[in-house]
């Protein structure tokens, strides 16, 4: 599979299926392997592209330094290398640092950004509210806020696979190489509004069982940005794409059918 290269990055990606491009963007513990329960579902209708962000899976920063500010550059490099003018972006958790950043800086390249389980990039008090939810899980083992206890008990094989996937990353949870979080709290609500006005559809997915999420942050986002779609999913945890792929895929299908009926 190909690499998209820039002066700073070597970005690994894969392409599956055919149709309108749908780019899947993993979270902080994942890589392109995270989407094994989504690619087969979407590839019959979309050209599904999976990316390794720099420091994850097979992608690298040539300097050896990592920052989530590189994520948008990585997506853009892949779109250019694959010859894609515009794409839909579906991100989970930390992947939204890349999708939202690209949506506001290059709205002409983003048809829509559907972002699950992360409000941290959004400024104007949203990120500060989001921090309250993250503080509530700070003392928990990583697996206990990424995966529900019930899932851990019922699906030990998938829990093992989840953390095996992350073991090939250079950076991220449990890895020794740090990554800066310079996109946090950096994207103004007005920038998102401008992207929407430029034709980018924006959806934030809120899972009610996500231990990292703070409901007042989503309530405030709805007040500040009524132009966006904020989708509440009852019972969905932080890693719903992994724990309950049928529900997650169905939620995404409904969003895409409403906002991209021509896809």
Question: Mind listing the pLDDT tens digit for each residue in 130-189?
Answer: 999 889 888 899 899 999 999 999 999 999 999 999 999 999 888 889 999 999 999 999
Q: Give me the chain's average pLDDT, please.
A: 95
What span, in angstroms and rounded, lies between the C-alpha atoms of 45 and 18? 7
Q: What is the DSSP letter of 256?
A: H
What span, in angstroms and rounded, lies between the C-alpha atoms of 192 and 234? 25
What span, in angstroms and rounded, lies between the C-alpha atoms of 250 and 139? 33
Note the pLDDT of residue 174: 81
φ/ψ region of 117 (left if φ > 0, alpha if ψ in -120 to 50, else beta) reads left
Using DSSP, state whether 58 is helix, strand or coil: coil
Closest CA to 146 of 12, 4, 34, 21: 34
Pairing of strands 87-92, 20-25: parallel
pLDDT of 238-256, one tens digit each? 999 999 999 999 999 999 9
What span, in angstroms and rounded, lies between the C-alpha atoms of 132 and 128? 7
Compute how many other C-beta atoms are within 10 angstroms of the C-beta atom of residue 124.
17
pLDDT of 204-221, one tens digit each? 999 999 999 999 999 999
The first and second tokens of residue 50, run together, are 């999976």
Pairing of strands 46-51, 3-5: unpaired
What span, in angstroms and rounded, lies between the C-alpha atoms of 231 and 11? 31
Give the residue carrying structure tokens 């995966």.
Answer: 147
- Annotate 174-210 with DSSP letters as a single string: T-SB--B--STT-B-HHHHHHHHHTT-EEEEEEETT-
What span, in angstroms and rounded, lies between the C-alpha atoms of 235 and 166? 25
Instruction: Kindly report the backbone phi and psi dihedral angles of residue 179, in degrees, each rounded to the nearest multiple of 5, phi listed first.
Output: -135, 130
Q: What is the DSSP letter of 109?
A: G
Q: What is the DSSP letter of 40?
A: H
pLDDT of 37-88, one tens digit each? 999 999 999 999 999 999 999 999 999 999 999 999 999 999 999 999 999 9
């Amino acid at each position: 599979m190909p690499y998209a290269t820039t002066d700073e990055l070597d970005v690994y990606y894969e392409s599956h299926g055919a149709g309108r491009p749908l780019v899947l963007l993993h979270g902080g513990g994942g890589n392109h392997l995270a989407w094994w329960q989504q690619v087969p579902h979407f590839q019959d209708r979309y050209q599904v592209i999976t990316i390794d962000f720099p420091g994850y899976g097979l992608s690298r920063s040539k300097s050896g330094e990592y920052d989530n500010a590189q994520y948008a550059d990585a997506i853009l490099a892949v779109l250019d290398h694959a010859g894609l003018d515009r794409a839909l972006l579906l991100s989970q958790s930390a992947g939204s640092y890349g999708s939202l950043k690209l949506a506001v800086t290059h709205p002409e390249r983003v048809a829509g950004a559907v972002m699950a389980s992360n409000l941290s990039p959004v400024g104007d008090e949203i990120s500060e509210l989001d921090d309250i939810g993250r503080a509530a899980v700070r003392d928990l083992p990583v697996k206990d806020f990424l995966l529900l206890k019930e899932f851990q008990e019922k699906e030990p094989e998938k829990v093992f696979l989840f953390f095996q996937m992350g073991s090939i990353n250079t950076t991220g949870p449990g890895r020794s190489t740090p990554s800066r979080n310079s996109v946090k709290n950096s994207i103004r609500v007005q920038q998102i509004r401008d992207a929407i006005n430029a034709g980018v559809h924006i959806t934030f997915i809120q899972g009610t069982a996500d231990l990292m999420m703070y409901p007042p942050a989503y309530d405030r986002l709805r007040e500040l940005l009524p132009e966006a779609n904020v989708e509440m999913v009852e019972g969905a945890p932080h890693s719903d794409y992994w724990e309950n792929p049928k529900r997650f895929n169905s939620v995404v299908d409904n969003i895409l059918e409403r906002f991209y009926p021509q896809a």
